[in-house]
A = this chain, B = another copy of it.
Amino acid sequence: MKHNIEELLSTHGVKPTPQRAVIADYLLETHCHPTADEVFQAVKDKLPVALSRATVYNTLNALVTAGVIQEMTTEAGRVRYDANMSDHHHFVDIESGKVFDIPAETIKQINLELGDKFKVHKFHVTIFGEVKE
């Protein structure tokens, strides 16, 4: 664990436990936007006790609610989790399905002409394409 997980969880109002720490730590170190089951597979052997899927889901939902991570989606229907909470968008390699973070500043300008009826809180750009090499 390279990150100070306990402090991160505490400052977000989530009581640190070994299960939560190992899940949050995995999410912070990976960049692969894993599904719940990928999180489960990745961390289940890192604890001295058995890990329940219910705990994984409970923890992921708690972390989302606390603002430590966010949900995102690429293919319709598969929920993925992302510990990168900076303002960013996503590039999806249409061949491999791999997801890359694209900083918000990378999108130079996006002007919306939505009229008076729509008040924009935030927007998210999902980009589909190919990664070279």
Binding site for B on A (CB under 8 A): 71-73, 76-80, 91, 94, 100, 102, 106-114, 116-133
Q: A100–B126 Cα gap in the complex (Å)?
A: 18
Please indicate the chain B residues that have their CB under 8 angstroms from the CB of A102 in the complex. 112, 114
A27 shortest CB reach to chain B, Å:
15
Q: Please classify the interface of chain A as helix (H, G, I), strand (E, B), loop, or mixed, using the class held by over half of its residues.
A: strand
Q: Are A109 and B106 in contact (CB under 8 A)?
A: no
Selected contact of A131 from candidates B78, B111, B118, B128, CB within 8 Å: B118
The answer to whether A113 and B120 touch across the interface, beta carbons within 8 angstroms, is no
* Residue in contact with A125 in the complex, picked from B91, B119, B123, B132, CB distance below 8 Å: B123
What are 12 A-B interface contacts by the 8 Å CB criterion? Answer: A73-B73, A76-B79, A106-B113, A107-B111, A109-B111, A112-B127, A116-B132, A119-B129, A122-B128, A123-B125, A123-B126, A126-B126
